Structure 1
Amino acid sequence: MTGPAIRIAMTPKGARIVHCAVPNAQGLLIGLPAIKVGQALRRLHGICREAQGLAGEMAVAAAMGETIAPDDLNRRIARVHAEARRETGLRLCLDWPALIGEAPQTELARAVIAGDWRGLEASGLAERLLAHAPEALRPIFAGRLAGAPVAPAMHAPEPGAGVAALTCARGRLIHRVVLHKGRVAAYTIDAPTARRFGPDGDAAGLLAQCHGARDAAWVMQAIDPCVEWTMDEAVEAA
């Protein structure tokens, strides 16, 4: 795929989605040995790879009637939580400052990558962002900055099938797998970005209420797609 996965255009009636092709790695898992699903998912995803990998391992374990040892699960949950916190921290440093007329905080971003949060916490950037955020979007940013528990869950709806869910940086991630003779026969990834930009998602409705490119920028940053997106600020005919 070339070009942004999502394109937004302004119209006299608001912003609208003119292109959306969010990639999904689920088809690449068909036929794969079940024990390799988690590893494959981590390799296929550049963002939230720990969350994707753990969700896959949990779904497979449920389908096989197995559990993940508590100590091992807790270590993986900690990695997913750290990954989500780092992803939000980078958005706060690099993308969200433009919403309030500030430059990207590259030095703070480097510190976040290194695991040092002191500078970002002392900068007051999060507080300034929330103070300027549109009232309707403020709870979305506040929730993202606060961080949600990973809250993993897994179950087997029927023999050979497994479902797993956990909370990653952008929302609830759900994996569903069906196994046959130890290999993946069917796989579905229900990811936050694809869900929000899908037919039943809220992205189109939120964008339709925008009165200009600035409003649309706030909405897109609140949703924070995990894929490249662009916005055409030249007003198109409705």
Structure 2
Amino acid sequence: MDNMNLNKHISGQFNTELESVRNQVLVMGGLVEQQMNDVIDAVHAQDKEVAKRVVERDRKVNSLEVSIDEECTRIIAKRQPAASDLRLVIAIIKTIADLERIGDEAKQVAHMVIDNANKTQPPLVSIEHMGRNVVKMLHDSLDAFARMDVEAAIKIHASDIKVNREYESVVRELMTFMMEDPRSIPNVLKVLWAARAMERVGDRCKNICEYIIYFVKGKDVRHIDSNEMESLLK
């Protein structure tokens, strides 16, 4: 907790509770990151069994969100945190909500792999490459959360532009594929939805970066431009 510049409390138990819930977030984040890595591997190999495991493990992600949320509610009710402590609890509650949704996106991509197995569909190299970049963005976001690193959060936040551009490129490729082979449209639409799910993971990572900035700086940066965000480092 010291490396996050958190206040020390008269109650050592309060420090322990905050540290515990923060560690639970990192455990949940690690599981979600594994889900994303596995589903990208499933896309690459068109492996239905790996995809099915991703779908099945989503229940564990959901369970972690509920337990962490309940612990945060208990801390608010019992400790009545203020200032940076309250911001930390709020940031955690919002972060786990986005992590849970990232898990849902991984599950959607997994369903695409399962549904499209052995069917005509476009080459998936572009969506796989996009997925690898999104997984890196997620990994870096979790690392920034662990260290509450504002500078890293701002850099990661800006990197979503690259993900958006890749998504637009994938959409153009898929549209071309559908025009050339109209029979493929139902399966290609599933790939398109999977690509959209990947793009949304990038958006969720941006959100996590914004929560880091909110905790450390006490400023809500959800609707400010990149220049104003970078000014927070000065």
TM-score (structure 1 length as normaliser): 0.34
TM-score (structure 2 length as normaliser): 0.35
Structure with the higher fraction of residues in helix conformation: 2
- Asked which structure has the greater RCO (Cα within 8 Å, sep 6+), the reply is 1
